[in-house]
Structure formats: structure tokens, C-alpha cells
Amino acid sequence: MRLTRTLLAGALAIAAILPARAADFYAGRTVSIVIGYSVGGGYDLYARLLARFLDRHLPGNPTVLPQSMPGAGSLKAVMYLSAVAPHDGTVFGTFGRSMVLEPLFNGAKFDPRKLNWLGSITQDVSLCVTSAASPIKTWDDLITQHARMGGQAAGSDPDVYAALLKHLFDSNLRLVTGYPGNNELGLAMDRGEIDGFCGLSWSSLASRHPEWMSGAHKINLIVQASAGTATEAHAPQLTSKITDPRKLAALRMILQTQAIARPFAAPPNLPPERIAALRQAFLQTVADPEFLAEAARLGLDVSPVPSTAVDAMLADLYAQPPEVIRLAKDASTY
């Protein structure tokens, strides 16, 4: 009993010291938020909104600056966070939700389970869309006709969903990849270079491209994909189009990443007081009334996912049976 009380007292003393240490470290410093996509897209918008309010919740009130680092569908950013960025709490970032599957599927040299996750600002639903001028206007059109769908890079959402349609549903689509982000994909769609693209977040559509929902630029909503949540979009759920239990298991494995629609993570091996400070500041920021008011003004959904839930999801993904992982890998690679 005496030993237990001693240990408890020691733990409480350490807990009291940690915030002070974090404040001493962060005071007068700059914290960078690395963004794995080009300026103007959904990931960029969420990250820059977070940067505007995070400083008031971090001990020591450091300056918080967003830093764009597009490349390889945001793989460049996640590799930077995993192996190059300072492991001191001055850098964290955001990248494509599907990137957490890249080590399993394509041998990317990082382990998402070793990143220090802050959480996700929201969950989401991904859409396949085509331009109003495209002959591809329905699900049946997408599966049976020769569609040109845009992509970014292997492992990015547009490329992953294009591959899923090709392999799980025998679509005749052709992937035209290499665009830096959704803004560039939208321009390519307007120019007629592509019919459309998949992996467009409902939150991005609502906040960044409301004109696509009406008027001359109206798009066709072909199908929606999520881990369970539907939108008000009049588009069928991707899971409803598949009956083979093996294919459905592989599809659901990939769709789990929709639960971390706007993820944020810091490098591995951070001092415990600093990752604790970052996680607490993240959760306090996404609950900040002024942050929420600005998110609402911008049309951004906020449904926070804590770091513990991200860790649990990753544990589940990496514990899937080998045959499910193999089928999901094959299905998500164009």
C-alpha cells in the first residue's frame, strides 16, 4: 500500500512537471505544419484553419506556420515526417488518408504505427464525379464505357479508387495520373482532359467547389464511398455494388481510412511532454468556439477523431488476414 501511494505521488509530480517543460520548450519557437498537397485543396484548407487557432492552445504560445510540401500524392510529406523532420515537437503534418496503407500495399519505407498521431479533424465520404459535359453520367456508364479518370500518384485517393473500380468492378476506365491536387484535377475536368476523378471528399466539394453542385459547372455524382456514413448526395454507396464476400472484405479494409479524413501526425520518438502538449492542443483547438465558427463559415465539417482511435484503426488494418491484405493491395493498385 505504501509503495502504491509512493508511485502515485511520483506520477502526479511528473504530470505536473510535463506541461511546464513543454511551455519552456515552445515559448518563442515556431511550429511548422507540413501539408502534403498543393495550396487551395481540402487538406490545405483544414491545415491552414488549424494553424490559425492552434497557437493559443499550445503551451508557450509558439508561432504556428503552415508549409506546403506536395509530391507523390502526399507520400513526400509523410516520408519527410517519418525520417527527416526534427523529432522535437516543432513539426507535424497532414497527408492523404490512404497513405497509411502504402507500407502494406506498396512497400513504402515508413510505419504509420510509429508516428505520433494527433488525430483527425473529421471523418469523410469520398465521391467519384464527372463533368457535366462528360458522357459518363451514371454508375453504369462508369463501369461499361471508356472513362478517363484523373489521378495524382500511386497511393493517393483518386488513384486508389480508380484502381478499385477497375479491379473489383471490371470498369473500362483509364487512369490519367500526375496532377498535384484536386484543384488541378478540377481544371483538367473543365478542360476536357479527363471525364472526372474519384476520391473527392464531400467536405471539399461542399467547401471549395459549391459551384459544382449547381449552375453551368454542375457535376455528376457517380458513387460515394465511406466506412459507413452516407452524405445527402444522391449517389449509390460503393459497398452496395459488391456481393462477393472476399472482395467486400478487401473494400471495407480500404474504406476504413475514410474515418481519418483529415489526419495530423508528428514524427516518431518525440519527448512525451511535447506530444502530450500537441495532442491536447489539437483537441482543444477543434473544440474552440471560434475555430468551430470559422469552420462553419467555410463550410467545413468538424467531427474530431482522437489519436487513440487512429491508433486502434491502424492496429486493426495491420492485423488483417494476409489474403485480405493481398486482395486489397491488388485491387487498389492500378
For the stretch 75-121, pLDDT in tens is 999 999 999 999 999 999 999 999 999 999 999 999 999 999 999 99
pLDDT at residue 16 in the model: 44
Band (210; pLDDT cuts 50, 70, 90): confident
On the question of pLDDT at 68 being above 90, the answer is yes
306 class by beta-carbon count within 10 Å (0-12 exposed, 13-18 middle, 19+ buried): middle
Whole-number Å distance between alpha carbons of 163 and 110: 23
- Identical fold at 30-123+260-331 and 126-257? yes
- Given 3.40.50.450, 3.40.50.300, 3.40.50.1820, 3.40.190.10, which CATH number is that of 126-257? 3.40.190.10
pLDDT at residue 6 in the model: 46
User: Would you list the domain boundaries of the chain?
Assistant: 30-123+260-331, 126-257
Pairing mode, strands 30-35 and 91-94: parallel
On the question of pLDDT at 3 being above 80, the answer is no
Higher pLDDT residue, 245 or 211? 245
CA distances (Å), origin 329, targets 47, 82, 154, 254: 29, 22, 12, 9
On the question of pLDDT at 291 being above 90, the answer is yes
Band (183; pLDDT cuts 50, 70, 90): confident
pTM of the model: 0.82
pLDDT at residue 226 in the model: 85
Fold of 30-123+260-331: D-Maltodextrin-Binding Protein; domain 2 (3.40.190)
127 DSSP β-pair partners: 200, 224
pLDDT tens sequence across 266-279:
999 999 999 999 99
Most confident of the following: 1-10, 19-28, 143-152, 197-206: 143-152
Whole-number Å distance between alpha carbons of 176 and 194: 7
pLDDT at residue 175 in the model: 97
pLDDT at residue 263 in the model: 97
Q: At what angle do helices 157-168 and 245-255 cross, to 10 degrees?
A: 180
pLDDT tens sequence across 128-180:
999 999 999 999 999 999 999 999 988 888 999 999 999 999 999 999 999 98
Higher pLDDT residue, 184 or 209? 184
pLDDT at residue 40 in the model: 86
Of 80, 44, 258, nearest to 157 (Cα)? Answer: 258
Q: What angle do CA 101, 105, 107 make, to 5 degrees?
A: 100
Higher pLDDT residue, 42 or 13? 42
